[in-house]
Amino acid sequence: MGATAAIVTRNLSRSFGAVKAVDELDLQIPEAQIYGFLGPNGSGKSTTFRMLCGLLKPTGGEVDVLGRRLPRDAERIRGLIGYMTQQFSLYRDLTVLENLQFMGQIQGLSRRERRDRIGHSLKAYRLERYRKRRAEHLSGGERQRLALAAALIHRPPLLLLDEPTSAVDPQTRRDFWDALFELISHGTTILVSTHYMDEAERCHRLAILDRGRLVCEGEPLDLMRNIGATVIEVTGPDLMALRETLAGTHGVWNLTQLGSRLHVLLDPSTVNPAALIEAALSHAGLKSQVAVAEAGLEDVFVAATGRRPS
Amino acid sequence: MKAVRRTWAIAQKEFRQLARDRLTFAMVIGIPLILITLFGYAINMDVRNLRAGIADQAGTQTSRRLVADLTATQVIAPVRQVDTAEELEELMMRNEIVVGIFIPRDFERRLQDPNREAAQLLVDATDPLIPRTVSAVVDMPFGLREHSASPRLIPRTGRSQDSPLFSMRQYYNPERRSAVMIVPGTIGVILTFTMVLFTSIAIVRERERGNLELLITTPVRSIELMIGKIIPYIFIGMLQVSLILAAAVFLFDVPLRGTLVDLYLASLAYVVAVLGLGLLISTIAKVQFQAFQLTFFILLPSILLSGFIFPFDGMPQPAQYFAQILPLTHFVVLVRGILLKGAGLVELAPPLQKLGILFLITMTLAMLRFRKRLD
């Protein structure tokens, strides 16, 4: 982990009535990296983000963002963060240019700064053709690029992206991530929440949340290596029957179907797990091929949350 | 049977939703209660306690008894004592009184002369209901003249076809035209409706569309947001004033006796005050529909209690106190004063100040309620 942390939380909690949306979160988010939050809907990703940018008051614990204590100093970090909300939250009835102008003014940029930066971001985010187009008439990908450009108009050192790619196609997602890597090369710290495994894998570090709790944290590769479960890949003609049998087999934690393959997670203390699975399946009279497999991030997620990703 | 089951399913769901939507539920109970109270209080055709000024130049026992008898009718309630008829007119222009009783120096002599009116009633005819009420008083026998059935007799002079005791002089709207009374106040009603509605929706809409979540992560301050929100509506409000005013003068022949500058300044103060009210609503309402509901909560009492339709003096004290928090109450005084009475802002300073105070209160409350947070 880097020497300086952009964000530190201790026992960060937030309850809505009796529901604990975020439960005693301890995080150290290093500077100039992409830090991912992976978790199913309702796992507390958005609530955490909102607390990190001062939109919600924690009901317990502490948050330091860029060396400032929240929510006390919330106003003082306003100009230092860029925030991209889950839903498009710029003005749909304003044009691309008007939206960028507005955000620039709100962020207190001078006329010259605005002209320079808007010109630059129109180019960088391929929005030049649409400068006069209203945001409501943009495609999902264009709208997302506009939102990113607006969030970055004041060159914030910290960028929070709440499920930024939930409404765009795979190619746009790839481009988007290229843009993010470009940003961290300039020293920006980026927090991104997602429920896409391939995106999570691109992060420098990853926190997996489940029902408000941090269930695992680290670099994606380490997480996969230290999954704490054995992964067995099973293929066969009748996957439904295989699943039913395996679900009742002793030592099996979880099952994930990946197309025509099944990933079976087992207790790591299981001796010779492949043989155990084979025995169970042939006992049930089912044809199958069984092999030990490398754990993917999906397996990490399933092992950590004990259920399939949404 | 299935049709019944499905229909019942819809009805049941509707009941549940109604019971859970607290604001709508409150309106189910609140609207009948509020309306019955408002109408019961405000719609009062037998007007009483009209604020009266007295200029008793005679100062005799009989003149004092006349004032006492007039007061005893409860139609008028003396609030000011002055010396001259001019002072009464002045008070009327300031809306401090609506009736003036002028008793001339030669009152006793006039009383003896059945062909002359003994005293004069000055009546603010802006609201036609007031002269109508007062004229009933004029025809009352007060027992000051000889043939009256009243026990308080004065030596008779033998004449039976007397002139009335009072001559009545009507001010500002002597033809008692309803348009003259209604149209100026309508400027205020229209502005209340449009301004409160526009602003109350303004912030709620940003909240609904998610803009607010982004906006509050920026360095923008609450006061900047609030002021920025109302500036465009100030212009829209002044545009509306011009439109309604043109219609009032050219279509309804409403006189413009004061100056246009005063009228626009008063309208500006009013527009700003109702915008403050709208902003306050927008910090309370969570969705646009609630903003609509709350706007009507403001609009109905404004129309009924402001003196726009029913004479302010006819309403009981509690209703009059409550009406003080409605900007329209003060604007009706201002706009009638400027348009019909030719009053200027100097004479109308009190209502103008009250509008300013209301604006400060609503803005402060709106700012306190609006937090740059989502919780």
pLDDT digits 0-9 by tens, A218-241: 999 999 888 888 899 999 888 888
Digits of tens for pLDDT over chain B (375 positions)? 788 888 888 888 888 887 777 777 777 777 777 777 777 766 666 677 889 999 988 888 888 888 888 888 888 889 999 999 889 988 988 889 989 999 998 888 888 877 778 888 899 888 888 888 887 777 766 666 554 434 333 444 443 445 677 888 888 887 777 778 888 888 899 888 888 888 888 888 888 888 888 888 888 888 888 888 888 889 888 998 898 888 888 888 888 888 999 999 999 999 999 999 999 998 888 888 888 888 888 888 898 888 888 888 878 888 889 899 999 999 999 998 998 888 888 888 999 999 999 999 999 998 888 877 777
**ipTM, two decimals:** 0.78
Contact A78 B219 (CB under 8 A): yes
Exposure of A272 by Cβ count < 10 A (0-12 exposed, 13-18 middle, 19+ buried)?
exposed
Does residue A308 have a pLDDT over 50?
no
Contact of A21 with chain B, judged by CB distance below 8 Å, is answered with no
Q: Are B375 and A103 within 8 A, CB to CB?
A: no
For residue range A261-306, list pLDDT tens digits in order. 888 988 888 888 888 888 888 888 888 888 888 888 888 888 888 7
Instruction: Report CA Rg, chain A.
Output: 22
Q: Quick check: A89 and B211 CB within 8 A?
A: yes
By the CB < 8 Å criterion, does A170 face chain B? no
Q: Pick the closest to residue B118 from B95, B143, B150, B152 (CA basis).
A: B143
Return the pLDDT at B73. 82
The C-alpha of A108 sits at a distance from chain B's nearest C-alpha, in angstroms, of 8
Q: Give the position of tokens 């008439």.
A: A137
Q: Residue A50 is nearest to which of B211, B218, B374, comparing CB atoms?
A: B374
Contacts of B372 in chain A (CB under 8 A): 54, 74-75
Q: How close does chain A come to B202, measured CA to CA in Å?
A: 13
Contacting A residues, span 59-78, partner chain B, CB-CB under 8 Å: 71, 74-75, 78
* Residue B271, both tokens: 């527009």
Determine whether the interchain pair A108/B214 forms a contact, defined as Cβ–Cβ distance below 8 Å. no
In chain B, residues 186-245 whose CB comes closer than 8 Å to chain A: 209-211, 213-220
B172, B126 contact by CB (below 8 A) = yes
* Contacts of B55 by beta carbon, 8 Å cutoff, 6+ apart: B81, B82, B83, B84, B85, B87, B88, B100, B101, B102, B103
Say if CB A134 and CB A92 are below 8 A apart.
Answer: yes
Nearest-neighbour CA in chain B from A106: distance (Å): 6
Chain B residues with beta carbon closer than 8 angstroms to that of A107: 218-219
Residue B373 has its nearest CB partner, among A55, A83, A106, at: A55
CA–CA dist A90, A99 (Å, integer): 7
Contact A78 B211 (CB under 8 A): no
* Pairwise CB contact (< 8 Å): A55 & B218: no
User: Which residues, 6+ apart, have CB-to-CB distance to A160 below 8 Å?
Assistant: A49, A52, A53, A81, A82, A83, A84, A190, A191, A192
Residue B142 confidence (pLDDT): 62
A54 in reach of chain B (CB within 8 A):
yes
Cis peptide before A71 (omega within 30 of 0): yes
pLDDT digits (tens, 9 = 90+) for A148-178: 999 999 999 999 999 888 778 888 888 889 9
Residue of B207, B212, B214, B370 to mutate, testing the A interface (most A Cβ within 10 Å of its Cβ): B214
pLDDT at B48: 79
- Reply yes or no on whether the pLDDT at A310 is more than 70: no
A106 touches chain B (CB under 8 A): yes
Instruction: State residue A191's pLDDT score.
Output: 95
* CB-based contact, A57 to chain B, within 8 Å: yes
Distances (CA, A) of A292 to A277, A284, A302: 11, 20, 17
pLDDT of A85 over the 80 cut: yes
**Cβ atoms of residues A22 and A48 within 8 Å:** yes
Largest CA distance in chain B: 92
CB within 8 Å: B218 and A103: yes
What is the structure's pLDDT at B149?
38
* Contact call for A79 and B218, based on CB within 8 A: yes
Give the best residue of B217, B221, B224 to mutate against chain A (max A CB count within 10 A).
B217
**pTM for this entry:** 0.78
Q: Do B219 and A108 touch (CB under 8 A)?
A: yes
